[in-house]
Amino acid sequence: MKPTDTPLVHGTLDALVLKTLTWGPRHGYAIARWIKDSSDATLVVEERALYFALHRLEDYGWVESEWGQSENNRRAKYYRLTTAGRRQLKAESERLTSYSETLIKLLAMPREVAE
Amino acid sequence: MSAAWPGLRRVLRIATRRSAERDADSEIDFHLESRTRALMTLGHDATEARAMAEREFGDVAETRLMLTGVVRRRQQRVHRADWWEALGQDLTVAARALRRTPGMTAMIVALLVLGVGANAATFAVADELFLRAPAGVTDPSTLTRLYLRTNDWWDGAKVARPTFEYAAYEAIKSAVGEHASLAAYMPPDSADVTIAGTTRTLRVSYATANYFPLLGVRVALGRAFTADENRMGAGSPVAVISWATWQSVFGGESTVLGKRLSVAGELYTVIGVTAEGFSGPDLDRTELWLPIATYPGGTVWNTPWYQFWYADAFVRVLARVAPNVTRPTLTAIASTAYHSGQLEQDSGNRDTVGTVLGGPLLEARGPTMSAAEGAITSRLVGVTIVVLLVACANVANLLLLRGLRRRRDVAIRLTLGISPGRLIRQFLLESFLLAGLASVPVIVIATWGGELLRTMVLPSNALERRSAQLASDRRFDCSRAPDGRDRGNRSSAARASNRSCGCVHQRRARRKRGLFRATRRFARRTGGPLSGPPCRCRILRLQPAIGPKHRCGLRHRSYRLWYGSLPQPNRSLPPSRQRDAGDRTRCRASRSVVATAQRSALRIGRPGQCRADGSGMDGARVSAGRPFGQRWNGRHNDADFQR
Going from the first residue of chain B to its last (643 residues), give the mean pLDDT of each consecutive group of 10, the final group possibly shorter. Answer: 49 56 86 90 89 87 88 88 92 90 91 86 77 80 84 72 84 84 87 85 88 86 84 84 87 84 87 86 84 81 77 84 84 84 68 78 71 72 85 90 88 88 90 91 83 66 39 34 37 38 39 48 48 42 39 35 41 52 39 46 40 39 36 40 37
Q: Pick from A28, A56, A66: which is nearest to B9 by CB?
A: A66
Are B12 and A67 inside 8 Å of each other by CB? yes
Tell me, what's the pLDDT at B530?
Answer: 43
Are B31 and A32 inside 8 Å of each other by CB? yes
Tell me, what's the pLDDT at B540?
Answer: 43
| Chain B contact set for A56 (CB, 8 A) | 70
Distance from CA of A115 to the nearest CA of B (A): 46
Coil, helix or strand for B421? helix
For B277, what's the count of Cα atoms within 13 Å in the CB-facing half-sphere? 8
Q: Pick from B5, B59, B74: which is nearest to A48 by CB?
A: B59
CA distances from B347 to B143, B225, B302, B303 (A): 33, 35, 17, 16
With contact defined as beta carbons under 8 Å apart, do B445 and B121 qualify? yes
Are B63 and A74 inside 8 Å of each other by CB? no
Distance from CA of B2 to the nearest CA of A (A): 10
Distance from CA of A3 to the nearest CA of B (A): 16
Tell me, what's the pLDDT at B127?
Answer: 76
Q: Which residue type, as a one-letter code, is found at position B227?
A: A
Which long-range contacts link B610-614 to residues 24+ away (Cβ below 8 Å)?
Answer: B614/B589
**Chain-centroid distance, C-alpha B233:** 34
Q: Pick from A48, A67, A76: which is nearest to B63 by CB?
A: A48
How many other β-carbons are positioned within 10 Å of the β-carbon of residue B103?
7
Sign of the dihedral through C-alpha B285, B291, B294, B299: positive
> Which of B:55-94 have CB within 8 Å of A?
56-60, 63, 66-67, 70-71, 74
Distance (Å, whole) CA B372 – CA B430:
44
Q: Which residue type, as a one-letter code, is found at position B317?
A: V
Query: In this structure, are strands B260-263 and B561-562 parallel, antiparallel, or unpaired?
Result: unpaired
Question: Residue B283 has what DSSP assignment?
Answer: S
With contact defined as beta carbons under 8 Å apart, do B602 and B549 qualify? no
Are A51 and B28 inside 8 Å of each other by CB? yes
Question: Residue B128 has what DSSP assignment?
Answer: I
